[in-house]
Amino acid sequence: MVLWNEARAICLKAPGAKEFLQGYLTCNTNNITENSYLPFALCDIKGRVLANGWATQREDQIFLIVHRSTLPLVRKHLAPYLNFSQCSADEADYSIFLKRSELDSEAELFGYEIASFSVFDSREEPAEEDSSEAIRELLISKAVPFIEERSSGKYLPQVLKMQETGGLDFEKGCYLGQEVIARVQFKGRTKKSLERFSLERDSEPPTVGQKYSLNGQNGEIVMVGRTLGLWITNASG
């Protein structure tokens, strides 16, 4: 079992959690189950992605897995709406512990599955091996973004190619930001898109949110690994 220290989870308690989240996530929350990890984005009213991640269920609880730097943003964004809903959010933040997956490829979480959630305590030093770097490398290789606070509120889901990773459902009905997202989808393409790039050898690696130039192209960094990165640049094709 390994720790995914780069991620945290917020827990929403039933009844009503799926119905509540249906109005705010880009995925169809009716498809959240105990045996799957459903990609999603949480957007603002302008359709920009505040956070993204994966949703899963444990008994009568829904866990939203996001980058740890965006968890406060998720809580702040959902708080006023939760006051008028039939569900509640646990005040605790949850650490995520993984194990190698025995599930089929559609249900697994990039080769892992969640072994357990544990209430995060900043006073405790994690004793388990941290798998964050390996997972980041894998996500970058698959061109799957995991949005940090420094990239929050900047990009539409289509710019991040979330329609290709199953996190964007165009038949589920209305949710916050849906009008803008649908309008862009019907136009057929965006001017910017998420692309992989190779890091230049012997140079200082860029940081997330940094403006970056490479081979005559300009863009902005979304994720950085050891040899590859993801950035937003001019759409190809």
Give residue 106's pLDDT: 58
Cβ atoms of 71 and 10 within 8 Å: the answer is yes
> Of the CATH numbers 3.40.50.300, 3.30.390.10, 3.30.1360.120, 3.40.1350.10, which one belongs to the domain with range 2-132?
3.30.1360.120
Which residue type sits at 86? Q
pLDDT digits (tens, 9 = 90+) for 116-165: 999 987 766 666 789 999 999 999 999 999 999 999 999 999 999 999 88
**73-106 confidence digits (pLDDT tens):** 999 999 999 988 888 999 999 999 999 887 666 5
CA distance 231 to 234: 10
Centroid of chain to Cα 155: 13
Using pLDDT thresholds of 50, 70 and 90, give the confidence band for residue 191. confident
Residue pair 231/220 in contact (Cβ under 8 Å)? The answer is yes
Secondary structure E strands in the chain: 2-3, 7-13, 38-43, 49-58, 61-67, 88-89, 94-100, 112-119, 192-198, 211-214, 217-224, 228-234
Tell me which H or E stretch contains 179. Answer: helix 178-187
Q: Where are the domains of the chain?
A: 2-132
163 Cβ contact partners less than 8 Å away, ≥ 6 residues apart: 157, 185
Give the 3-state secondary structure of residue 218.
strand
User: For residues 47 and 199, what is the distance between their CA atoms, to the nearest angstrom?
Assistant: 30
Model pLDDT for residues 42-70, shown as the tens digit of each residue: 999 999 999 999 999 998 899 999 999 99
